[in-house]
Amino acid sequence: MQVLKRIFIYLLILFTSLSGLSFSDRQKVTDFPKAAKEAKTLLLTEIPSDGSALTLASMQGLLANVSDKNLLFRTAKNSEWLPFTNAELISTQADGSPWDLTALLKEFAPFLDGYILCDDDSAAIALSLANQKNSIVVLPAFEEAVQAAGLTMTADVRGMSDLRFRLTPEFRKLRRDVAFEQPTWLTPRLMDYAVMSGAYVWYDAAANRAEHTNAFRFLKDNALIFGWNNDLGEYKTVSSVSSLNACLIPADWASNLSVLSGFSCENLRQKTAVSAVSGGRTVCLLMSDGDNLQWFVGSYEDVYHFGSSVRGRFPFAWGVPASAADLAAPLAQRYYGKMSENDAFVLSLSGLGYTFPSKWTNRKALRNMAETLGQKMKALDTRELLVLDDDGFDSKALDTLLKQTQANGIFYIDYSNYAGMKGKTRFVDGKPIVAARYQLWNGMTGCSPEEIAAAINALPADPADPDSYVFIIVHAWSGLSSSGDFVEGGNTMTAVERLVNQLDADTRLVSPAQFFERITANCG
């Protein structure tokens, strides 16, 4: 009986997912949703620890589309990116008291049509509906405060299941190009952006891979799914998203994206120096996890990474997500402005987001995604692309990405083992695809700074020999402890420096552009 019920649910979801979608609809490439208004005034508030976070997050998301005045959740990064905007930050009310729920409701109620009442189990449904109804999301404990601000209820979704919601006209009005996979206990993180986007919010900790795929089957090709699923796990989640010809945007801990998306930047330019290099073996170092949008707007600049005092002493490459210029423009301006001539940014990871390109079933959709990716690479002044795939090095999908974007080459890492291809190289129309030869990653054999340096020093130092080219992927979450041990969670950049200091005189550290230029000229 349970099996029959599950089959019925799958068929019902499939029917409601595909209804109203033409084939051409499923081909259109999605761009990153952006706020309709650029914030001019921001009222600083703390991230609440109670259920009022749902109300404030939905309020922030709605205001991003209708008002140049909004609220801003306090985070450690606010003071770093606000100088790159024209927004005025107001930290307290006129009498010095904080901007709490009551004060913010009074300030912004005129912009709202009402509120949606929900319980903990139906909060995702309420967030999915908030944009359509221009209504904030409210748990019963906060209904009285909302009513006191003059707002009336526009919907009551208490007790509604996700399956029942999928049968409503409101579900069919949700956009089919963007969705969110986020447990509501993380609110306000990311949920403001979900409300701003007018998109579906879903999370099922008990879902298996097939159920996950079916949950998002209503999306068209080239869709973007924001969030993360720790319960299902990285591999199954990304595999599921890839089978839908979609991209995952890791952003589950990102705050204030609805506000950040209202800002834009132009003329981002890298400062990487181009110097003459001759002879020897060629090495390029690249940090992993650059696709992680929540990291980009969070702790990317900590002392273990971009904020390290080691940065700038030697050529090193950093990942930048395709979404950065659209969803985090002030932070992109900050990072690019702080570059040294030894820093470089590489577009990361695999496309507009995290996906396994070789697992896409629609090649036209992949070509369309690649063309959009090229536009993002141009906006971010990047010409090199990092791809993580699942046994996809020889896939024609990589050829598609390389042919259709402005990329000069692809750095490849494989899911099962980042350096499993051991530096394998192939060319597509004269452009290189180069797999990682080594990975700096603690707890793995042959992956310490000392072991990698020794292995590199034993390689040929002849530019005409493909084995003299070394792409090293640096695991962002491995590094040196205070006692100098290579450990999980240590200082990544000091571990990189230890490796670099052990390389012999026949080794040339180069930028990504120089790496591809040399291997193409000598081995292409």
Question: DSSP secondary structure string, 363-401?
Answer: HHHHHHHHHHHHHHHHHTT--EEEEEESS-TT-HHHHHH
Report the distance separating Cα 150 and Cα 487, nearest Å: 55
Could you give the 3-state DSSP secondary structure of residue 111?
helix
Q: What is the pLDDT of residue 87?
A: 98
Beta bridge partners of residue 435, listed in sequence order: 412
Rounded to two decimals, what is the model's pTM?
0.94
Q: What is the pLDDT of residue 276?
A: 80
Nearest to 514 by CA among 469, 450, 473, 472: 469
Could you list the pLDDT tens digit for every one of the 524 residues in the chain?
444 445 555 555 555 554 444 333 444 556 899 999 999 999 999 999 999 999 999 999 999 999 999 999 999 999 999 999 999 999 999 999 999 999 999 999 999 999 999 999 999 999 999 999 999 999 999 999 999 999 999 999 999 999 999 999 999 999 999 999 999 999 999 999 999 999 999 999 999 999 999 999 999 999 999 999 999 999 999 999 999 999 999 999 999 999 999 999 888 999 998 778 899 999 999 999 999 999 999 999 999 999 999 999 999 999 999 999 999 999 999 999 999 999 999 999 999 999 999 999 999 999 999 999 999 999 999 999 999 999 999 999 999 999 988 999 999 999 999 999 999 999 999 999 999 999 999 999 999 999 999 999 999 999 999 999 999 999 999 999 999 999 999 999 999 999 999 999 999 999 999 999 999 999 98
Q: What is the pLDDT of residue 274?
A: 77
CA distances to 271, 405, 509 from 276, in Å: 16, 27, 12
Q: What is the pLDDT of residue 118?
A: 98
pLDDT, tens digit (0-9, with 9 covering 90-100), for 365-408: 999 999 999 999 999 999 999 999 999 999 999 999 999 889 99
List of domains in the chain: 2-260 (no CATH), 281-523 (3.20.20.490)
Burial class (CB in 10 A: 0-12, 13-18, 19+), 317: buried
Q: What is the pLDDT of residue 500?
A: 98
Nearest to 232 by CA among 201, 256, 208, 261: 208
Q: What is the pLDDT of residue 404?
A: 81
Tokens of 87: 């927004």
Report the distance separating Cα 260 and Cα 328, nearest Å: 6
pLDDT, tens digit (0-9, with 9 covering 90-100), for 232-256: 999 999 999 999 999 999 999 999 9
Report the distance separating Cα 296 and Cα 324, nearest Å: 8
